[in-house]
Amino acid sequence: MVLAGLVLGVTVGAGTYLLERRRIAAAIEERATLGVELLRTSVRQLVLSTGEPWQRAMPKALAGLASDIPATELGRFAFVEVLDVNGDSLASVEDASLADLIFSAKQSGFKADARRFELSQIRGGLSYGVVAIAVPVTDRVGAKLAQLNGVFIVSPQILARAQGRLGLAALTAAAIVFVTTLLIYPMIRRLVRRLSALSIQLLDANLETLQVLGSAIAKRDSDTDAHNYRVTIYSVHLAEASHADSALVRRLIKGAFLHDVGKIGVRDDVLLKPGRLDAQEFETMKTHVTHGMDIIARSEWLQDAGEVIGDHHEKYDGAGYRHGLQGEAIPLTARIFAVADVFDALTSERPYKKPMAVEESLAILRQGAGKHFDPGLVARFATVAGALHARFGNDYEAARRELARIIERYFQADLGVVLEEATPVRK
């Protein structure tokens, strides 16, 4: 906030400086233009009063003005020149003491009915404003007789006061913006803290619901939620070993916890059957994927969990279900989870089997590489599987603590990104 206030203050101050500079320049141009109009009127009257052809009368008239060029407290004309319609000089008057400033204006050139104002002329340590003006001189019927070029020099004292006002206006504007920022900072800070607290509560509620729902179906299936804890931990560590980004890991966590949520819709006689399922029962069991997708359909926060829920039974060779996806067409989250899920199933005790050793389970995964599993993922998982199973395979409390650490790292520690993902723009 302080930095933003400082930047905004400087920006407003600079804008105020430019606007005030334009206003002062416009005022100086207006005064200079008034002076040249008076000069033009004087020249025209002198030319017309002589009765001579204006080409001869013009130099005489201009010479008569040499000692009486219009001047004000704002400044004075240091150079006046008359050009004929062809652009040839007929006569000029110049203040030799200001020759360097006049030369600079001449170098830039004069354009009819144009005014050019500069504040950058430095002479003798003083800043001078230089206004270059070009106006036509006409006869009684409006026909152009000549062009009058003038260089108006703004008094350095007047210019110094104007520049002082410029600086004061810019500093005042910047100070007002910065002080206002400091005054509203405590209020904004309190609002942000309140919003952060509410956001954390919302996220915690979503995560608690995620865990409760996942644990409920896990207990119905196997009397324990340890399986959900382990497959989530195994999946996250495999994702990390695969250098997956945080957004993918968050999708993976949600999907891993809810991967079998659709089993709520499967009949008990099929879901809890101790032996192998027959063909018809297996078709019934396969519907848990569709049930799972239906369950999360109305939750925006859980939509990305569908990658795992809907596709974790796809096989790398295309022989799986729901859609028979093949290779990298299967979402990476689903491919990662498939490895972790089968490994945990092999190394865990079930009503119909004893747990297998880690090496025996890994051998089965390697046999399925390229068929059931992504070969690269199997190879990476083999490097971490032993240590993971030793820590969490039979220690429920250790798995629970590790899952809490994972959630803290990937959700609560990066709250802003998680909330942005959780609230997509509705179209």
Domain holding 149: CATH number?
3.30.450.20
Domain boundary among 136, 154, 172: 172
Distance CA 337, CA 119 (A): 71
Q: Which positions ≥6 away from 294 have C-beta within 8 Å?
A: 262, 265
Rounded mean pLDDT, 339-350: 91
- pLDDT of the residue at 427: 35
Residue 210 lies in a domain: no
Domain boundary among 128, 146, 172: 172
| pLDDT at 425 > cutoff 50 | no
Q: What is the pLDDT of residues 95-112, one digit of tens each?
A: 777 787 777 777 766 765
Q: Which positions ≥6 away from 215 have C-beta within 8 Å?
A: 225, 228
Higher pLDDT pick, 65 / 134: 134
Residue 347 lies in a domain: yes
Higher pLDDT pick, 258 / 188: 258
Structural element, H or E, at residue 126: strand 126-138
- pLDDT of the residue at 124: 58
What is the band of 144 on the pLDDT scale with cuts at 50, 70, 90? Answer: confident
| pLDDT at 418 > cutoff 60 | no
The verdict on 86 and 22 lying in the same domain is: yes
The verdict on 326 and 409 lying in the same domain is: yes
What is the band of 245 on the pLDDT scale with cuts at 50, 70, 90? Answer: very high
Half-sphere exposure of 12 (CA within 13 A, CB side): 19
Print the domain residue range for 133.
2-172
The model carries a pTM of 0.56
Return the CATH number at 245.
1.10.3210.10
Residue 203 lies in a domain: no
Rounded mean pLDDT, 189-197: 78
The verdict on 234 and 165 lying in the same domain is: no
The verdict on 38 and 160 lying in the same domain is: yes
What domain count does the chain have?
2
The verdict on 270 and 161 lying in the same domain is: no
Q: What is the pLDDT of residues 277-292, one digit of tens each?
A: 899 999 999 999 999 9
Rounded mean pLDDT, 65-90: 71
Domain boundary among 172, 189, 204: 172
Rounded mean pLDDT, 354-382: 95
The verdict on 284 and 364 lying in the same domain is: yes
Residue 208 lies in a domain: no
